[in-house]
Structure 1
Amino acid sequence: MNDQDPLSFTHESVPVRIVLRAGAAVTATAEEARRLGLRRLLVLSGPRGADTARAVADSLGRLCVAVHPEARMHVPVEVAARAVAAARAANADGCVAVGGGSSIGLGKAVALRTGLPLIAVPSTYSGSEMTPVWGLTEHGVKRTGRDPVVQPRSVVYDPGLTLSLPVPLSVASGVNAIAHAVEALYAPDASPLTRLTAEEGVRVMAAALPEVAADPGSVEARGRALHGAWLCGTSLGAATMGLHHKLCHVLGGSFGLPHAETHTLVLPHVLAHNAPAAPGAAAAVARALGTDDAPRALWELPRRVGAPRSLAELGLAETDLARAAAQAAGEVTVNPRPVTTDGVLRVLRGAYEGAPPGE
């Protein structure tokens, strides 16, 4: 489905059970495991989320056979290999990934290698738990793919888990989710349902993030942000990724930039770049944001809460721009606008300098 032919599409849905309520992490995870017939669960997390993971593990009782708190950003292959070995050593019949994208990414890597069913308990807003997309980093290169085996069978959303997420990171994580929806809107394999879900996801998330920033302790606002994450992630789960995601994967896997902040800084510039070739998608984003300049609105949103303002602030060197642009251009297979190294370099330079999109 695209701007030119809105009635030509194929849509495929992967069955996922969703639970969203306060306290669900410790009240619903065991129930979800029992629904799936799982009895020996390995709980995965990152080091910083180990306490939360242990609370979930405690709620599982005898269903939990071990906790493996070794997730790392961008899922290095050696980290994935250790988690696979831990799952096999524990004779696990499933995994529970507790935390942000690193933990859920590690859970997907284990599922990819072993076929074990995965339950996701997210603590951020990116929405990656709703996609069958996996990523692994080896020798400074991040590879990604799609496989239904990595799609979590159940997702347990608990707004309480996100209360400690700092406001700048909350907003960056939420804009990361919006990036999923934006790319779903102009994906060549989008469907009417994908577009409806994506536009609503942008609307819900964009409304929730200022509420989170104004009152970080609001469970209601945090719950609305998780609602937005679910919608945004679901939309990308049914569509192909374009320039934005490929570029962010290069910046993360090859240059070590943090995931959510990178998405936040790159998205306005990619949307401005692609908008002339995808006017319908750009209009949908603008409607959802309540603006007539969607790239500018996405550029301004994180600036109001003290999030990083440029890729330079994240540590990218100016001398890396040309190499990153060439690498990303070589990896993009679909995008509404033809991808050239010069075009990607212009996008990168805008994000590197923190300039308003289109200038």
Structure 2
Amino acid sequence: MRFNHETLGQRVRFASGQARESLAAELDLLGSARAMLIAGTEERELAERVTAGLPVVVHHDEVVMHVPTDVARRAREVATEHQVDVIVSVGGGSTTGLAKAVALTSGIPIVAVPTTYAGSEATNVWGMTESAKKTTGVDDRVLPRTVIYDASLMLSLPQHLSIASGLNALAHCVDSMWAPRADPINAALAVEGIRALNLGLPAILDDPSGLDGREQALYGAYLAAVAFASAGSGLHHKICHVLGGMFDLPHAQTHAVVLPHVLAFNVPAAPEAAERIASAFGSATAVAGLATLRDRIDAPTALRDYGMPEDGIEQAARAVVEAAPKDNPTDVTVENITTLLQAAWEGAEPR
């Protein structure tokens, strides 16, 4: 056994119903006196409750999916104007992504308070979009200094968004099994993440007002993100970044639709990973385990339902082949990626 593994340095405060107290303790520890709150208009009430009485000098609410470069520029200008010394992000992946865009050029520390299972808060990966192309990169300046996890903040997240967001987290686990820097530690985290999400997501549907399922899903999403941050971006994420940037598709739903197709595409050439994924699902095969979960939670199935045009498949396939990792378990060609995207567009069975 030989591998190089890098663990990112980050504090995690996990306590349901304690977001404000955890955030206050963290700002005090950092010695922060001028916080920039980034939270979209939909999260405004929740964000104000979480930051009540804390030293917030500006609330910035221009949060846009896939972080367009002009949106990032305006947020950076606000941070400079108000001389902020910490960024507090309250929201999902787009909110965390905007905070990262500010930190990328300023080095201002981030304290992230997630309200979805996106996982961006636990990675040093940033992404921005310009001219229908999404660019991603890795920089330790964008890794939030601390993450405040509070499952009670997820109670207002609609069930269909909880499911899509949770499947996005599951995609982090699956991709980590064969991404460019995959190693045994990443795999162990990913397998436990799959197990937790497989328990948590159905429980959210069974008891929408309960915390047990949401805590399991949040725990699994964190493990998924840590594994992904170390393992790097595999084929699944390359496909979703292409589709999101090219067609402005919703992030979580795109991941939820594409995941079973990439899993079916790669498992024949990755038998050890397939066996571990199957074990985490408690299923005979990895593909069957994911299919059972998706049926149970009524997962999104077709890219056409989210605005992708069928005539964009060929263009997207060429872009995916250019971006795909060279060591993906299954060889990537324009032909087989076109077939994969066609099936995902239609909502057909993975093959």
Deviation at 1:59, TM superposition (A): 4.1
CA distance in 1, matches of 2:239, 2:167: 16
Tell me the residue number matched to 1:3. none
- Paired AA for residue 329 in structure 2: P
Does 2:130 align with 1:135? Answer: no
Deviation at 1:307, TM superposition (A): 4.0
- Paired AA for residue 19 in structure 1: R
CA distance in 2, matches of 1:306, 1:203: 18
Deviation at 1:22, TM superposition (A): 1.4
Q: Percent identity?
A: 45
Q: Is the 8 A contact 2:134 2:241 kept in 1?
A: yes
- Paired AA for residue 343 in structure 2: G
Does 2:315 align with 1:331? Answer: no
The partner residue of 1:29 within 23, 29, 39 is 23
TM-score by length of 1: 0.94
Does 2:41 align with 1:47? Answer: yes
Does 2:337 align with 1:344? Answer: yes
Inter-CA distance 306–333: structure 2 relative to 1 (3 Å threshold): closer
Deviation at 1:191, TM superposition (A): 2.4
Does 2:89 align with 1:106? Answer: no
The partner residue of 1:218 within 210, 214, 239 is 210
CA distance in 1, matches of 2:296, 2:191: 23
Deviation at 1:190, TM superposition (A): 2.1
Tell me the residue number matched to 1:267. 259
- Paired AA for residue 306 in structure 2: L
CA distance in 2, matches of 1:306, 1:333: 31
What pairs with 1:1-359 in structure 2 (closer than 5 Å)? 7-60=1-54, 63-334=55-326, 335-358=328-351
Task: Name the stretch that deviates more: 154-163 or 286-295.
Answer: 286-295
Aligned residue for 2:36, secondary structure, equals strand
Aligned residue for 1:285, secondary structure, equals helix
Deviation sequence 1:118-149 (CA, Å, 0-9, x none): 11100001212111111000011000011111
Deviation sequence 1:159-215 (CA, Å, 0-9, x none): 111001111211111111011111111123222221111100111111110000111
Task: Name the stretch that deviates more: 318-327 or 287-296.
Answer: 287-296
Point out where structure 1 has 5 or more consecutive residues left out of the alignment. 1-6
Q: Is the 8 A contact 2:180 2:325 kept in 1?
A: no
CA distance in 1, matches of 2:58, 2:316: 39
- Paired AA for residue 15 in structure 1: G
CA distance in 1, matches of 2:67, 2:292: 30
Tell me the residue number matched to 1:4. none
CA distance in 2, matches of 1:155, 1:210: 25
CA distance in 2, matches of 1:303, 1:256: 26
Aligned residue for 1:238, secondary structure, equals helix
Q: Is the 8 A contact 1:202 1:288 kept in 2?
A: yes
Deviation sequence 1:30-84 (CA, Å, 0-9, x none): 2112222222110101221122122223242xx2111111111111111111111
Point out where structure 2 has 5 or more consecutive residues left out of the alignment. none
TM-score by length of 2: 0.96
- Paired AA for residue 346 in structure 2: E
Task: Name the count of aligned residue pairs.
Answer: 350
Deviation at 1:342, TM superposition (A): 1.3
CA distance in 2, matches of 1:176, 1:206: 13
Deviation sequence 1:16-37 (CA, Å, 0-9, x none): 1101111222111121122222
CA distance in 1, matches of 2:71, 2:175: 29
Structure 1 runs, 4 residues or longer, greater than 4 Å off: none
CA distance in 2, matches of 1:136, 1:29: 27
Deviation at 1:223, TM superposition (A): 1.3
Deviation at 1:306, TM superposition (A): 4.2
Deviation at 1:282, TM superposition (A): 1.5
